């Protein structure tokens, strides 16, 4: 995915979830920063169903954003770190950077009363950060 270089220190985090309307194939996508706005409303691009995020959900997403920013500020440290996983016959070392950039995070939060999977996409601040 190609995109403009974000401003220094600005974490780019997108979040999306599948529309809850039966038979709708829409995916609601937004920037995690936008949810800090009280009037923020997510709208399905296909069926135009509006999702108002309640205070509890917004609070969780805001804290997620802060977590991402903390990770962003530690990129230079994490770039040199590995996660070691013991497996039968040895050890697998996964560069921490891979966990941040190559794996998609999935969090399940309640949207109203419906447990919903949110996909979180985070881009490193610079393509050069993780070699």
Question: Which residues, including other chains, have CB under 8 Å from residue 127's CB and lie 6 or more apart?
Answer: none
CA 97, chain centre distance (Å): 15
Q: Closer to Zn ion by CB, 24 or 82: give it.
A: 24
- Within the chain, residue ranges assigned H as helices are 55-73, 75-78, 96-101
The span from the CA of 84 to the CA of 47, in Å, is: 45
Q: How far is the CB of 47 from Zn ion (least distance, A)?
A: 3
Q: Is 21 in the site for Zn ion (CB under 5 A)?
A: yes
Nearer to Zn ion, 46 or 52 (CB): 46
Q: Note whether 24 binds Zn ion by CB under 5 A.
A: yes
Q: Which of 6, 14, 18, 26 binds Zn ion (CB under 5 A)?
A: 26
Binding of Zn ion by 28 (CB under 5 A):
no
Which residue's CB is nearer to Zn ion, number 21 or number 126? 21
- In angstroms, the CA 26 to CA 49 distance is 10
How many residues form the binding site for Zn ion (CB under 5 A)? Answer: 8
User: Using the rule CB under 5 A, is 46 a contact of Zn ion?
Assistant: yes
CA 4 to chain centre: 18
Strand partners, 43: 50
Q: Which is nearer to Zn ion, 19 or 64 (CB)?
A: 19
Binding site for Zn ion (CB under 5 A): 19, 21, 24, 26, 44, 46-47, 49
């Amino acid at each position: 995915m190609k995109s403009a270089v974000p401003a220094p220190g600005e974490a780019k985090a997108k979040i999306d979830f599948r529309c809850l309307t039966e038979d709708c194939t829409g995916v609601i996508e937004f920037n995690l920063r936008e949810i800090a706005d009280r009037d923020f409303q997510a709208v399905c691009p296909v069926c135009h169903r509006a999702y108002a995020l309640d205070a509890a959900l917004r609070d969780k997403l805001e804290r997620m954003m802060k977590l991402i920013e903390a990770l962003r500020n530690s990129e230079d440290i994490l770039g040199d770190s590995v996660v070691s996983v013991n497996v039968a016959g040895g050890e697998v070392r996964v560069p921490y950077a891979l966990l941040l950039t190559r794996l998609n995070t999935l969090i399940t939060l309640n949207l109203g009363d419906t447990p919903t999977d949110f996909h979180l996409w985070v881009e490193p601040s610079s393509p050069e950060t993780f070699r």
